[in-house]
Chains A and B, each alone.
Chain A
Amino acid sequence: MKVLTLNFLSCAVKTCKSSSDSFPLHPKEAELAKDDVEINPQLLVNVLPRIDWAALRTTSTELGFPTLPDQPPTAEELEADEKMLQELHTLLMEMQIVEGKLVCGHCGHEYAIREGIANFLLPSHLV
């Protein structure tokens, strides 16, 4: 599962959906792996407005990547910044979470990730 996926997932517990604490989920004891993906600067520039930057910043810091700036770069800034392009490419397109847990900041439920597949099925008392 690409690290970028965390930008689109939230806690599966119904009563958490409306809480801002259920997004993003917090990786815990995460083991990462890196795929080799050819860089596509156009995709990175286009994907920026699609991303919740504050959430990505949280994820990036929690996984031990360099701290992202407070504000997302503009398209022009990103196109001109080779280093930023490469960093974002690695973080968004190459990094995979292989093992570990995703923790909800609202209810504390932990979703296990095993061999790259996160399990969001809830035990019956939480459905």
Chain B
Amino acid sequence: MLPTPDTSHVPYARVYEPAEDSFLLLDTLSAASETGFLASRFSSSRTKVAPPPLVLEVGPGSGVVLAFLTAHAATIFGTRDILTLGVDVNRFACVATRLTVSKAVEESASTAGSFLGAVQGDLVGPVRSGAVDVLVFNPPYVPTDELPVPPAGIAEKSKTTFEEDSHLLALSYAGGRDGMETTDRLIAALPDTLSERGCAYLLLCAGNRPEEVKQRIRDFGPQWRAETVGTSGKTAGWEKLQIVRIWREPVEGDTAV
């Protein structure tokens, strides 16, 4: 078991506290099936040179997952040569993520990759097309009647009221219809965001209708794959939470790019 990053400094009144979903991501991304997949894509071998992947976490919150991936790069990706970046709509989450990552990297300097920074933004809005090799998203997935309004570019202050804190927290879990309103926007952006060798890890709950979500991704085209690679909280045959890996495989006989 790789150590879980320390998040004791994170202000949980306004930043999502690591929970079962975060830990499922840590377990899944460090499981042999995923480290094998990631190393085969992103670590160099005698026969191929793999340039360092850009690993982007959307909505890192406390930063626990991004810190885990950065600090244990050599174990998870088979190489320390990775670049990591976080984008969160909540400025407090950006500050928290930066500290969580730098603490974890200090703890595990011999296996750590390179952290670029945390940027405040809406999903992949700030990121250049085709730049992302590994995208991780623990979305606001709880089905809710309403979707909280995202903060506008002008709302930026260092002191917040209780209501504003509640609003920031709601942004981290409230998913609107089927809990999918934000996730659907991210999925729609994947073809433009991921590099050719890119992949994404997406957390879904049972209420998100995961089988339909996977089918929608496969319908992007014959190269697209979407498979469940981690689950937790099995009750009466239903997985409460699951991680879906999304990626592209070259299609045989396909010469078009």
Contact = CB atoms under 8 A, between A and B. Distances in A.
A117 B118 contact: yes
> Interface majority SS on B: helix, strand, loop or mixed?
loop
B237 interface: no
Nearest to B124: A12
A118 B125 CA distance: 13
B121 A8 contact: no
Contact of A5 (B52, B85, B156): B85
Given A47-B52, A123-B153, A124-B152, A118 B127 contact: no
B116 A2 contact: yes
B153 A121 contact: yes
Given A46-B44, A119-B120, A10 B52 contact: no
A20 to B, nearest CB: 11
Contacts of B152: 121-124
A116 interface: yes
Interface in A1-48: 1-2, 4-5, 7-10, 12, 17, 23, 40, 42-43, 46-48
Contact of B81 (A17, A43, A111): A43
Interface of A: 1-2, 4-5, 7-10, 12, 17, 23, 40, 42-43, 46-50, 93, 96, 111-112, 114-124, 126-127
